[in-house]
Amino acid sequence: MHNDGNVVPLHKAATDQAIQSPLARLPVILLQVRDKATQQLRHGLQELFDNADDTLFEMADRARNDVEQNRFFEAMRDLRLKRKSIERGFLEQFFEAFVSLSQYDSTQEALPRALAFDAGAAPNDDLERRVAVEAMVSKVRNRDGFALDQLTARLSALLGNALDDQHNPLGPARLCEYFLQAWRNLGVEIKVKLIILKLFDRYVLSSADQLYAEANQLLIATGVLPDLKPAPARRATDQAAASAHAEPIEAGIHTPIDDGVQEVFAALQELLLHVRGSVAPTLEASAQTQPISTRDLLRLLSHLQQYVPALATQDDFDLRNQLEQLLTRVSVKSGKSRVVGVADEDVINLIAMLFECILDDRNLPDSLKALIARLQIPMLKVAVLDKSFFSRASHPARRLLNEIAAAAMGWGECDDHERDSLYLRIEQVVQRLLNDFVDDPAIFSELLADFLAFTSDERRRSELLEQRTRDAEEGRARTELARQRVEQALNQALLGKMLPQGVVVFVQEAWSKVLLLTCLKHGDASAQWHADVQTMEQLIWSVQRHDEPDAGLRLLALVPGLLKSLRDGLSSSAFDPFATSEFFSELETLHVQLFERPDHAVEPLAEQPVMVEVLQEVVLRTADEGPADTVSVRLPADDAGLVQVDQLRPGCWVEFQEDDENTLRCKLAAIIEATGKYIFVNRTGMKVLERNRTGLALEFSRGAVRALDDTLLFDRALESVLGNLRRLNRGK
């Protein structure tokens, strides 16, 4: 059936009326109170989320282990993704609370839902959350209870219905309820939730006095209980404590500089005195000379940031020269000689010198230097914004640079390096900063958290493979030592003896495996080892002809126990049952022949055993074993190469010069004490080579290998720059 466009379905009209009618029944002044409070609450929530990244990052920085650190990083990402939905959910519930005032019945029971248990939460976790919320609510009531009571009284008078604190939309319990309901889908553990609750207390509830004061003023202005005694103003000390989290930022540019930071920067400026004038030097001092503001400098840098050249032409990009040309154009256009302020120029010079050192650093792979060079302008901008960049080792921008360099330590040059996951991730970080960083340093915390999460995943995978490599090498070393011990036992028992060939083959190929397993499992000092060696010696004795009168009786008494020991040993080593059966048949024939008298006539058809004399030492080798190490050079204890080798520790990175063009970077994963082997792995944890102590010392001596410096890149560069500046100042 066709519906005319002017016809409204009855069910839709009823629904719209149900939604709009409660608001229509609310007094206009109450909507004004709601809208005024919404502005402050939205501002508080934005401050909460703006500072949550820094707080969680600091917690991650102090984490006791990688697992705990990753939890904070995951929480940071989850919070960023759900920030908008949490803000929206909070304000939606706040609006609904005002709508419900039109339907409020003073006889209904108050339901403090903010303190209700979370669905699915662990009892202990929910109890912790509940205690925290109760403490927050109690603090607001103790501090601002007078103003809250006046607001509740005025709302009751306005609505003509007695209202209690639990149903006051601006009450602390209700505010906590909105927040808890809005973040119910936030997948973080209780420790992180308690941190976020503290931030809510700090950035939202701490300003409750202002919220209540403005609401009361609006109601007083419209004549709602104007004669109530005004609430006392909060003490200045309380206000200072409440606002400590939000120190004003001058013109939206500078973060406050404490005395320690200022002292460090002042010391740096003294060293930089002799290199001033390199950025747009003023040839003629006059009244027309005018320093540009820091804000304008940042605009110029942001302009240059968009034109950072591609990697191929990076060597042609001189930041100071580019900035000087830009300032010259600005000066010509404005008619005034525009120069950079002294403090800003010092920062420019210092950053330029730092990056010169960084790009000359031999520990950085060349293919990644070009990427890191593109970070110069973003690092300069953050240093202009925040001078603690030079004095605070935990500064996010500084840490980001250090973490990139640390991850690049094991980078290996390859033809398709641009497809490597690490290269791509560093390239994403660089491009994000060049595209998005204007004047908000918070982007460095975000990128650092993401990069640390990436490298942590890579490190976990490489450490797992590295541990497997170590276990395998240690197993090989134990096997090698056990094999040497078995060889020694076999040679002691066999050398110089004339024995049946079948017995010699059996001892070398079968019983050697029994001895090897026993040595690996129990050691060569165990009763099991001595028992198996004794079994081998008894077997050899039993197949030799002896002249002693009681040799026959002794052999007769020995054979049953010998056969049992042989069968048990072969069974434990899973030796081929068919070969075992053949050997025991041959052994029985040998024993029968030995029971006969030497001069007894032998039957014509009896087959005599093939006898062999064991003259060469037994050497046991496996199929996958490489050639033995032939390095037999003996070096003096104070040899320079040996000293360098002995300074190596597991975890150290080294670089091997394979030929004139190719190098191999690898990490010392293990030093196998039993064999003296040094095991090296690549960035993924896979074994790439092994050396012994002497061979490695010889390579150090001829310069074919060098240890890489794994100290922090920024700190290393800063120390080098300061050393150069001190020498320059001494020479002046």
Nearest CA-CA partner of 42 in 2, 91, 86: 91
Task: Write the pLDDT tens digit of every residue in 417-454.
Answer: 667 888 889 999 999 998 888 888 888 988 988 888 88
Q: What is the pLDDT of residue 400?
A: 92
Task: Write the pLDDT tens digit of every residue in 388-406.
Answer: 888 888 889 999 999 998 8
Q: Which long-range contacts (CB under 8 A, 24 or more apart) does 360-364 make?
A: 361/713, 361/716, 361/717, 363/405, 363/409, 363/708, 363/709, 363/710, 363/713, 364/405, 364/408, 364/713
User: At 140, which helix (H) or strand (E)?
Assistant: helix 123-159
In one-letter notation, the amino acid at residue 334 is S
Task: Write the pLDDT tens digit of every residue in 529-585.
Answer: 999 999 999 888 888 888 788 777 888 888 889 888 888 888 877 777 777 788 888
Nearest CA-CA partner of 35 in 19, 46, 23, 25: 23
User: At 402, which helix (H) or strand (E)?
Assistant: helix 396-408
Weakest mean pLDDT among 191-205, 616-630, 643-657, 707-721: 616-630
Is pLDDT larger for residue 327 or for residue 376?
376
Please, what is the Cα angle at 368 between 366 and 369, to 5 degrees? 65
Place of tokens 């409750």: 208
d(CA 350, CA 162): 67
**Token pair in block for residue 684:** 């993924």
Q: Which SS3 state, helix, strand or coil, does residue 170 take?
A: coil
d(CA 726, CA 160): 78
- How would CATH label the architecture of 640-710? Roll (2.30)
d(CA 699, CA 306): 46
Q: What is the pLDDT of residue 309?
A: 67
Please classify residue 191 by burial: count the beta carbons closer than 10 Å to its beta carbon, then call 0-12 exposed, 13-18 middle and 19+ buried.
Answer: middle
Give the sheet arrangement for strand 663-672, strand by strand: 687-692, 677-681, 663-672, 653-657, 705-707
**What string of DSSP letters covers 612-665?**
EE--SPP----TT--PPP-------TT-HHHHHHHH--TT-EEEEE-SSS-EEE
d(CA 21, CA 11): 15
User: At 679, which helix (H) or strand (E)?
Assistant: strand 677-681
For residues 235-254, average pLDDT: 40
d(CA 412, CA 714): 21
Per-residue pLDDT at 245 exceeds 70: no
Is pLDDT larger for residue 726 or for residue 248?
726
Place of tokens 């950072």: 308
Task: Write the pLDDT tens digit of every residue in 157-183.
Answer: 888 888 877 789 999 999 999 999 988
What percent of the chain is modeled with pLDDT above 90?
13
d(CA 248, CA 255): 8
Q: What is the pLDDT of residue 305?
A: 83
d(CA 346, CA 21): 65
Q: What is the pLDDT of residue 317?
A: 65
Distances in Å between the Cα of 567 and the Cα atoms of 322, 562, 572 are 86, 9, 9
pTM for the model stands at 0.55
Q: Which SS3 state, helix, strand or coil, does residue 554 take?
A: helix
Task: Write the pLDDT tens digit of every residue in 275-309.
Answer: 776 655 443 444 456 778 888 888 888 888 877 76
For residues 605-634, average pLDDT: 65
Q: Which SS3 state, helix, strand or coil, does residue 692 take?
A: strand
d(CA 146, CA 151): 9
Per-residue pLDDT at 143 exceeds 50: yes
Per-residue pLDDT at 263 exceeds 60: yes
Q: Under a CB-based contact definition with an 8 Å cutoff, are residues 692 and 449 in contact?
A: no
What are the domain boundaries of the chain? 10-244, 259-440, 496-613, 640-710
Per-residue pLDDT at 18 exceeds 60: no
What mean pLDDT, rounded, does the chain reach? 79
